[in-house]
Amino acid sequence: MKTRRLYTGFVVALAALAWVAIGNPTAANAQAKEFVFTAIPDQDETQLRKRFNKIADYLSKELGIKVKYIPVKSYAAAVTAFRNGEVHLAWFGGLSGVRARSLVDGSVAIAQGFEDKSFETYFIAHASSGLKPADSFPKEIAGKTFTFGSKGSTSGRLMPEFHIRENLKKAPEEVFSKVGFSGNHSKTIALVQSGAYQVGAVNFKVWEKELKAGKIDESKVQVIWRTPPYPDYQWTIRGDVEKTWQAGFVDRVKNALLNMKDKELLDSFPRSSFIPASNSDYQPIKDVAKEIKLIDD
């Protein structure tokens, strides 16, 4: 009796595994023709989901095919999904886009937000740190506690680290008494606002959005420095989509993105419009990433 139970259990478990491994065949077939995209989870994920589900509807209407958005949990997961062909299109940051395109031959950056040509990172500080807004790099941040955003973020990691190394000639771990990675821009703001970290680096768009939403008390946390502009977010597409859909598909997707005029859609990014982009626009990001050894030569 007990033996039988044990065997039944094992057989059931194996059957379950087999079922999952083969992966509900009908579902897989339906997915084969679906155009799938993802985005880096740089902020409020509930908002991201709403935003990108709307984008999926829009693209689906414009392209006349089924389009689906799948959410991922990290920058690396977005790059991996793109690399593995789980998604065909992605809304990447500067650094994640560079990484993704170097891993997938034939992939191209097709569009960026109008604001992404000249994106900025804000260095923010808690009032008690005594740091004041300045036009030049605030060298007094040395010795304070500091938090980046996500490890794979352009605005929350790559660019601030670049400027720290450039100006202080040392690695962040040597410059600051503590270096943390908050995970995302909203958490960076929360952690500096509470003084848990004295200084942080944050995506300027997220800062402005939260400021508008009344989530920031400027008597506690304020911007002390703005980085020079750099190129950031962009839409990147895999080259092999033209095999699945017909030739010229990349341009059709690109045009659909550039023709997005719906203010509500654009505001949700928030971007004023999308403009053409190319791989070479992101060469500066690639150079910086190589310089601080976040990517290999």
Q: Which of 196, 258 has the CB closer to another protein?
A: 196
Q: Which of 275, 292 has the CB closer to another protein?
A: 292
Indicate the helix (H) or strand (E) that contains 122: strand 121-126
Q: Give buried/exposed letters for 24-43 (b at 16+ CB in 10 A, else e).
A: eeeeeeeeeeebbbbbbbbb
Q: How many CB atoms lie within 10 A of CB 206?
A: 22
Q: Which of 84, 118, 272, 283 binds another protein (CB under 8 A)?
A: 84
- The contacts of residue 31 (CB under 8 Å, 6+ apart) are none
Q: Which of 197, 225 has the CB closer to another protein?
A: 197
DSSP 192: H
Residue 103 touching another protein (CB under 8 A): yes
Tell me how far, at minimum, the Cβ of 254 lies from another protein, in Å: 24
Residue 296 touching another protein (CB under 8 A): yes
Q: Which of 51, 101, 126, 286 binds another protein (CB under 8 A)?
A: 126
Binding pattern for the stretch 176-205 against another protein, x by CB under 8 A and - elsewhere: --xxxxxxx-xx--xx-xxxxx--------
Q: Which of 45, 281 has the CB closer to another protein?
A: 45
Residue 81 touching another protein (CB under 8 A): yes
Residue 66 touching another protein (CB under 8 A): no
**Residue located via tokens 């985005």:** 39
Tell me how far, at minimum, the Cβ of 239 lies from another protein, in Å: 16
Q: Which of 32, 247 has the CB closer to another protein?
A: 32
- Describe the strand order of the beta sheet including 67-69 as a list of residue ranges: 67-69, 35-39, 89-92, 234-237, 108-113, 274-276
Instruction: Report the DSSP beta bridge partners of residue 263.
Output: none
Tell me how far, at minimum, the Cβ of 152 lies from another protein, in Å: 5
Residue 106 touching another protein (CB under 8 A): no
Is residue 293 classed as helix, strand or coil in its secondary structure? coil
Instruction: Return the axis-axis angle of helices 94-103 and 75-83, rounded to nearest 10°.
Output: 30
Residue 8 touching another protein (CB under 8 A): yes
Residue 28 touching another protein (CB under 8 A): yes
Q: Give buried/exposed letters for 248-270 (b at 16+ CB in 10 A, else e).
A: ebbebbbebbbebeeeeebebbe
Q: Which stretch binds another protein (CB under 8 A): 14-22, 56-64, 110-118, 267-275?
A: 14-22
Q: Can you tell me the distance from the alpha carbon of 98 to that of 267, in angstroms, rounded to the nearest whole number?
A: 25
Q: Which of 176, 274 has the CB closer to another protein?
A: 176
For another protein, how many residues bind (rule: CB under 8 A)?
A: 70
Residue 168 touching another protein (CB under 8 A): no
Q: Can you tell me the distance from the alpha carbon of 106 to that of 97, in angstroms, rounded to the nearest whole number?
A: 13
Q: How is residue 238 written in tokens?
A: 């895999």
The residues of the shown chain that bind another protein, judged by CB under 8 A, are 2-3, 6, 8-10, 12-17, 19-21, 23, 28, 31-32, 36, 43-46, 70, 72-77, 79-81, 84-86, 99, 103, 126-128, 145, 147, 150-152, 173, 178-184, 186-187, 190-191, 193-197, 215, 217, 220, 294-296
